[in-house]
């Protein structure tokens, strides 16, 4: 996707472009290509003739919709500081044949609006797309009120809801397009738009409801989702260098979970490890554990994420190191699991 970012560079009082380090939200967006891609993808859907309408609660820069607002003003609804009302209005618009997308901080969209999402969207089966950005601990300094480490658990417990956590903006665009005509609500979970690329445009492995199997390992297969996919790939490479056979699966669609991919990994690997920027309870790890139990598979499983606590305040990069959710941290957790005695050659 070709991102046009020139129009986002602000001008100073002298009419010249402001310095790169200037504290200005539009210029900061240049470092968040995932957010810019969100707006471009929505614009592309509109340009194709789809009846897309975008609702946002008092945001336009922080969710990358500034350019969309300028290019498609008749499809952009500024709802004010009103997340819950945004969801309910979207439900009403969906009944008229429109395709509403509600974008907002994941901490507010998924947690604050839980009742409206369940009752107005899922119960009534309205095809509204929810885009929760800045999920997990990506908000860093803003603290607990802005962190979203419970949203996967909440969203996947709601009937009729599909839950998707793409690894990068390429996967986000592909999955948005894949679910564009889905007849039920979908929750898309994004980071802050600065995630390293995992995929290239046109990658045909990105399919709705189908995990991307990068590789399977004899010793361990890591099943990751969203922002945790790239560090898991980095960790796997490090572990292979140390002599371990380690694979990685991108479980971008958490509900419905690709049970076949989990079973295939369990049949091949002596142990499984899930990695997610989320509470270890109720998220991807819980979904994989449920799948293993449902199929009577006794392979050892390590659920790696945030261990049932509220994250401290700090830069996201520091928090990732603290929770061992960066590449070296994931490798360290995996190595400890591999040498813990829980994984044996005769586990099955």
Task: Return the CA Rg of the chain.
Answer: 20
Kindly tell me the burial class for residue 155, based on how many C-beta atoms sit within 10 Å of its own C-beta (0-12, 13-18, 19 or more): buried
Active-site hit among 6, 20, 70, 83:
83
Active-site residue, 83 included = yes
d(CA 175, CA 168): 11
Q: Is 248 left (phi over 0), alpha (psi -120 to 50) or beta?
A: beta
Report the SS3 class of residue 214. Answer: strand
The string over 257-286, giving b where at least 16 C-beta atoms fall within 10 Å of a residue's C-beta and e elsewhere, is bbbebbebbbebbbbbbbbbbbbbebbbbb
Quote the longest CA-to-CA distance of the chain. 72
What is the distance between the alpha carbons of residues 281 and 304, in angstroms, rounded to a whole number? 10
CB-CB contact of 313 with 293 (8 Å): no
Strands 162-164 and 186-189: parallel
Percent helix, strand and coil across the chain, each to the nearest 5: 40, 20, 40
Tell me how far apart the alpha carbons of residues 103 and 42 are, in angstroms, rounded to a whole number: 11
What number of other Cβ atoms are within 10 A of residue 242's Cβ? 10
Q: How far is CA 310 from the centre of its chain?
A: 19
* DSSP-assigned beta bridge partners for residue 248: 215, 222
Separation between Cα atoms, residue 218 and residue 270, nearest integer Å: 6
Catalytically annotated residues? 83
């Amino acid at each position: 996707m070709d991102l046009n970012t020139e129009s986002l560079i602000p001008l100073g009082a002298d009419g010249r472009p402001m310095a790169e380090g200037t504290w200005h939200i539009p210029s900061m967006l240049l470092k968040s290509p995932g957010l810019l891609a969100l707006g471009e993808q929505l614009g592309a859907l509109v340009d194709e003739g789809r009846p897309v309408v975008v609702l946002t609660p008092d945001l336009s820069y922080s969710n990358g919709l500034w350019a969309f607002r300028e290019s498609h003003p008749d499809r952009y609804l500024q709802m004010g500081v009103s997340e819950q009302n945004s969801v309910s209005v979207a439900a009403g618009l969906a009944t008229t044949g429109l395709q509403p997308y509600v974008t907002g901080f994941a901490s507010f969209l998924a947690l604050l609006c839980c009742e409206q999402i369940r009752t107005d969207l899922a119960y009534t089966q309205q095809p509204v797309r929810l885009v929760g950005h800045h999920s997990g601990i990506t908000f860093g300094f803003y603290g607990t009120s802005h962190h979203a480490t419970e949203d996967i658990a909440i969203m996947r417990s709601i009937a009729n809801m599909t839950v998707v956590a793409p690894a990068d903006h390429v996967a986000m665009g592909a999955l948005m397009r894949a679910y564009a005509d889905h007849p039920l609500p979908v929750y898309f979970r994004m980071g802050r738009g600065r995630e390293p690329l995992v995929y290239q445009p046109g990658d045909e492995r990105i399919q709705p409801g189908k995990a991307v199997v990068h590789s399977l390992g004899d010793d361990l297969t890591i099943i990751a989702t969203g922002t945790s996919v790239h560090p898991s790939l980095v960790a796997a490479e490090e572990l292979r260098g140390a002599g371990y056979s380690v694979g990685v699966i991108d479980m971008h669609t958490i509900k419905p979970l690709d049970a076949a991919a989990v079973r295939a990994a369990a049949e091949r690997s002596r142990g499984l490890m899930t990695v997610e920027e989320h509470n270890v309870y109720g998220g991807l790890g819980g979904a994989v554990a449920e799948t293993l139990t449902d199929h009577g598979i006794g392979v050892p499983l390590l659920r790696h994420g945030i261990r049932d606590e509220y994250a401290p305040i700090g830069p996201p990069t520091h928090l990732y190191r603290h929770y061992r959710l960066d590449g070296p941290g994931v490798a360290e957790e995996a190595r400890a699991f591999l040498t813990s005695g829980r994984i044996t050659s005769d586990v099955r």
